[in-house]
Amino acid sequence: MGLMRVVRNRPLSDGVFELELSAPPEVLGAAPGTFLHVAVGGGVFLRRPFSIHRTDPQDGTAAVAYAVRGEGTRVLSQTKPDTVLDVLGPLGSGYSLPEGARRVLLVGGGMGAAPLLHAAQFLKGRADCDAVLGFASASYAFALDRFEACCRSLRAVTDDGSLGVKCSACDAAARLIETERPDAVWACGPEGMYRAMQGLGCFRNLVCQVSLEERMGCGVGACLTCSCRVRAGEGWEYRRVCADGPVFPLGEVVFGG
C-alpha cells in the first residue's frame, strides 16, 4: 500500500488509457494477473481495481491500462502527471506456471489484454508464449507492439474484421491450441469468452486459468462483496475475486445463475 506518483497518463486507443506510476519494489516484482486498487480521487468514494499491465523495473514504473467506463475511470483519465494517488497492491493471486510448462498461450478479449502484457513480460525466459488478442474493432486494439516485443507470436483478431481475421479470440485460440499444443492457457476477457471456452474441449484438456472481474470493496479479502461462484463438491461455493482470485482455473468457475 502506498502513495504512488503519476508519471504518465495517456490514451492508448479509442477510450483506452495507460496510467504509468512510480512504483515500489513489491509492485515491480508482482506476479502476473495481480492488480492494483486505486483511489482515483475527485469525490469517487470506493477504489477501482486494475490489473497490472506492465512493469519497468529499470525505470521503477508500473502501468495499468484502463477503459473509460463510468465516473471512476473518467476521473482517472483526467489525472495529471505528478498527481500522487493512493494505491493498494499488488493484490490477489495471479496466473501460475504449471510445473514444467514450456509453452503458454495468452488469450485476451478486449480490455482483457491488459494483464496479459504483464504476463508476457513475466514469461520471458521462463516459457515460450503466444498471444491471441480479440477486440471489437481495430480502433480499440492497444499495446500490440509491446506484445510483439514479448511474445513468440501475436495474433490479433476483431469482431468486425477491421484488424486481423474476423473471428473471436476464443475460436482463434482454439485453432492455435491444435497446432501449437501449449501447456497452459492464461486468459482474460469478458464472461462470454469464458463461457465459450468452457464449451470447447480443447480448453478443458489443458491447464487453463482465467481472470475474473467483480465489483469490489476492500480488495483485500475482508468485506466479502466480490464473490464469484467456484465448483465445490456437488455444487458451488462463493469465493472472493480479490483474494482467492482474480485468477481461477477455467474449469472451476460457475457462470450465470
Partner 1 sequence: MVDRPSLAVEVCGVPMKNPCIAASGTFGFGEEYQRYFPLHKLGAICVKGLTLEPRQGNPPPRIAETPSGMLNSVGLQNPGVRAFLRDHLPRLADSGTAVIANIAGNTAEEYCKIAAMLSKSRVDMLELNISCPNVKEGGVAFGTRPESVLEITRRVKTESGGKPLAVKLSPNTSDIGETALAAREGGADAISLINTITGMAVDVKNMRPVLANVTGGLSGPAIRPVALRMVYEAARAVTIPVIGMGGIMSGEDAAAFLLCGARAFMVGTATVVSPTACVHIVAELERYLKEQGIGDVNALVGALKA
Ligand X SMILES: Cc1cc2nc3c(=O)[nH]c(=O)nc-3n(C[C@H](O)[C@H](O)[C@H](O)COP(=O)(O)O)c2cc1C
- C-alpha torsion angle, residues 140, 141, 142, 147 (rounded to 10): 160
The site that binds partner 1 (CB under 8 A) totals a number of residues, namely: 27
Pick from 26, 29, 237, 255: which binds partner 1 (CB under 8 A)?
237
Amino acid at 27: V
Specify the stretch interacting with partner 1 by CB under 8 A; choose among 37-45, 130-138, 179-187, 195-203. Answer: 37-45
C-alpha cell at 29: 516484482
Kindly give, in sequence order, each residue whose CB lies less than 8 Å from that of residue 241, ignoring residues fewer than 6 positions away.
92, 212, 213, 214, 216, 226, 227, 228
Q: For ligand FES, which is the closer residue by CB, 88 or 254?
A: 88
Kindly tell me which of 66 and 248 has the beta carbon lying closer to ligand FAD: 66
Please, what is the minimum distance in Å from the beta carbon of residue 249 to partner 1? 19
Facing residues of 156 across strands? 133
State which residue has the least CB distance to ligand FES. 242
The answer to whether 30 contacts partner 1 (rule: CB under 8 A) is no
Half-sphere exposure of 31 (CA within 13 A, CB side): 12
- Region class of 113: left (phi > 0), else alpha (psi between -120 and 50), else beta: alpha
Cβ distance to ligand FAD smaller for residue 71 or 159: 71
Asked if 87 is part of the footprint of partner 1 (rule: CB under 8 A), the reply reads no
- In angstroms, what is the minimal distance from the CB of 244 to ligand X? 17
Site residues, ligand X (CB under 6 A): 217, 223, 225
Asked if 10 and 18 touch (Cβ cutoff 8 Å), the reply is yes
C-alpha cell at 56: 519497468
CB of residue 214 vs ligand FAD: minimum separation in angstroms? 6
User: Residue 97 carries which DSSP code?
Assistant: -
- 197 forms part of the interface with ligand FES (CB under 6 A): no
Nearest CB to partner 1, comparing residues 200 and 220: 220
